[in-house]
Amino acid sequence: ETGVTQSPTHLIKTRGQQVTLRCSSQSGHNTVSWYQQALGQGPQFIFQYYREEENGRGNFPPRFSGLQFPNYSSELNVNALELDDSALYLCASSLFMTGSNEQFFGPGTRLTVL
């Protein structure tokens, strides 16, 4: 069974640029959630994708957007990067409507905005 994978591991961008982060969900999972974890903080929910559509969103501006593909993998896109976007971005996959809501996390992508 393959776990959740994310790419790239690390990324450095400059303010104003755009970035795309990728996530492959665990085998058998159909739901992907994205989280932002700033240094010294707990993860904050960005949004969730199920059946290729956004299925819930946290308190993040529209420049944070996402996609889910038919194979359940997902992308997180961030436009007009700001310095405060520097964080660890975590992807988590789960099986929707199982009742457990257990999410399995990937290792994360460390984004640095200069």
Partner 1 sequence: AQSVTQPDIHITVSEGASLELRCNYSYGATPYLFWYVQSPGQGLQLLLKYFSGDTLVQGIKGFEAEFKRSQSSFNLRKPSVHWSDAAEYFCAVVTGNQFYFGTGTSLTVIP
Residues 29-58 that bind partner 1 (CB under 8 A): 31, 33, 35, 40-45, 48, 50, 55-56, 58
Asked if residue 14 binds partner 1 (CB under 8 A), the reply is no
- Do the bridges between strand 10-13 and strand 109-113 make them parallel or antiparallel, or are there none, so unpaired? parallel
- In the complex, minimum distance from the CB of residue 82 to partner 1, in angstroms, rounded to a whole number: 22
Q: Rg for the chain (alpha carbons), in Å? A: 13
**Burial class for 14, CB neighbours closer than 10 Å (0-12, 13-18, 19+):** exposed
Q: How many residues bind partner 1 (CB under 8 A)?
A: 29
Q: Is 98 in the site for partner 1 (CB under 8 A)?
A: no
**How remote is the C-alpha of 99 from its chain's centroid?**
22
Nearer to partner 1 by C-beta: 15 or 28? 28
Contact 34, 47 (CB under 8 A): yes
Least CB distance to partner 1 at residue 66 (A)? 14
Can residue 1 be called a binding residue for partner 1 (CB under 8 A)? Answer: no
Instruction: Report how far residue 27's alpha carbon sits from residue 22's, in angstroms, rounded to the nearest whole number.
Output: 16
What residue ranges bind partner 1 (CB under 8 A)?
Answer: 4, 31, 33, 35, 40-45, 48, 50, 55-56, 58, 90, 92, 96, 99-108, 110
